[in-house]
Amino acid sequence: MELVQRAILFMCKYEITSVIYKLTRDPESGCPTNVLYTVYATITTNGPFQFAYYWDQKDGNHSGVKTMIFDAAGSQTISRTWMVGKGDSPNPRWMQIIVTAPVPKEFDRFSFPNNCP
């Protein structure tokens, strides 16, 4: 088998099998001048896998492209923060992981409320 065919087979054999989000809020309650939301994404693969990704969020801000490397099947957790100021729109916010390579894929958006209009 040619090297290119082996590389393609290897790339297709393993993938991201899940992305699970979790949210923390600092402070946990109340409406101070600023509230810091941190979204954690636990990414799981079914084998060794390397991919490029970025965080996207509702306001158009994004993290820039980063690379994750898994040496074997397993999970890794990454995070991104969003500071929301008092008086900002009460509309819900969202963040999501978008993979750009080797195969582009958008994972579900994780939405959270701004309870301090």
Match 């949210």 to its residue by tokens: 23
- What is the number of structural domains in the chain? 1
Give the pLDDT confidence score for residue 12 in this predicted structure.
Answer: 62
Kindly report, residue by residue over 3-56, the tens digit of the pLDDT. 444 444 455 689 999 999 999 999 998 888 999 999 999 999 999 999 999 999
Output the pTM of the full model.
0.85
Domain membership of residue 59 (yes or no) is yes
The type of residue at 104 is P
What's the pLDDT at 45? 97
Q: Which domain holds residue 20?
A: 3-112
Q: Which helix (H) or strand (E) holds 28?
A: none
pLDDT tens-digit series, residues 106-116: 999 999 988 77
Q: What is the pLDDT of residue 117?
A: 63
Structural domain contains residue 89: yes
The CA distance from 41 to 107, in Å, is 11
CATH number of the domain enclosing 103: 2.60.40
